[in-house]
Structure 1
Amino acid sequence: MLLASVTASRSLRAGLRVFLPQPFVSAKLKHMSTAEGPPTIFDKILSGEVPSKKVYEDDLVYAFRDVNPVAPVHVLLIPKHKGRLTRLSKATEKDKDLLGHMMVTVPKVASAAGLDEYRLVINDGASACQSVWHLHMHIIGGRPMKWPPG
């Protein structure tokens, strides 16, 4: 199965929002799901190498507007230190304080972005459409959402 009109480099930079067949995704992206992989676009945003539109920041997390939004408001919330948290399924007991902090920070980020109602999404793994191997939460709103998604 081949998806037409997809420019791979642009799609990956923008946060791949295209569902690719599992054999193509798993083999090529599995090595990227480890903390030892190359710097991600989020690492480059945190270092200042790539610009972003900040919505919220504290000592542990950074939130910024998605460059390829799927709704009128689409904000990404990331931990400032990736560590082994390339995806949610890598979390351990050691990560519960950071994960709890991220969850209680979501309403602050949503409010700072002008939202009082929103959808919170975490994509975990290539087949779930995770394209950046740095744990992140999507805060999406600004219009009525439909169910089921995807």
Structure 2
Amino acid sequence: MSEDTLFARIIRREIPADIVHEDEHVLGFRDIDPKAPVHVLFVPKKAIATIDDIQPEDAELVGRLFLAAAAFARREGIAQDGYRVVMNCREHGGQSVYHIHLHLLGGRQMGWPPG
């Protein structure tokens, strides 16, 4: 996997982002093309290209993405009403940046199926 994805450059602070969460393992920032009133991406600081590239030793790291998203949803005030988290995998799954990332979408009613 390339260490020079858009998200890697955001992690290295080479590209500005509206960062809403950071810890040792995870960075969270607002999506520049939001699909909901709240749309935040949570990315691991370790470069992993796709869901299929996640290894057993990455299980805790991937779990940290979900914990960061849930904590943010509570802070943002959308946890009570609900929100959606999504991970896309490869082109047909809608993945456009090949560095795994968890989308948190909220602040409005979500439809189903997602499309």
User: In percent, how many aligned pairs have the same letter?
Assistant: 39
User: What's the TM-score, normalizing by structure 1?
Assistant: 0.71
User: Structure 1 residues 125 and 142, CA, compared in 2 at 3 Å: closer, same or farther?
Assistant: same
C-alpha RMSD over aligned residues: 1.2
Choose the corresponding residue for 1:87, options 16, 30, 50.
Answer: 50
User: What's the TM-score, normalizing by structure 2?
Assistant: 0.92
Structure 1 residue aligned with 2:104: 139
Equivalent position amino acid for 1:79 in 2: P
- Report the structure, 1 or 2, having the larger helix content: 1
Number of residue-to-residue matches in the alignment: 113
2: CA distance, partners of 1:80 / 1:113: 23
Q: Which moved more, 1:96-105 or 1:41-50?
A: 96-105
CA contact (8 A) 1:71 1:143 kept: yes
- Report the structure, 1 or 2, having the larger strand content: 2
Q: Unpaired runs of 5+ in structure 2?
A: none
Choose the corresponding residue for 1:60, options 7, 22, 25.
Answer: 25
Please give the secondary structure, in 1, of the residue aligned with 2:8.
Answer: helix
Q: Could you list the runs of 4 or more consecutive aligned residues of structure 1 that deviate by over 3 angstroms after TM superposition?
A: none
Which of structures 1 and 2 has the bigger CA Rg? 1
* Structure 1 residues 120-145: Cα deviation after superposition (integer angstroms, max 9, x where no partner): 00001111110000010000011000
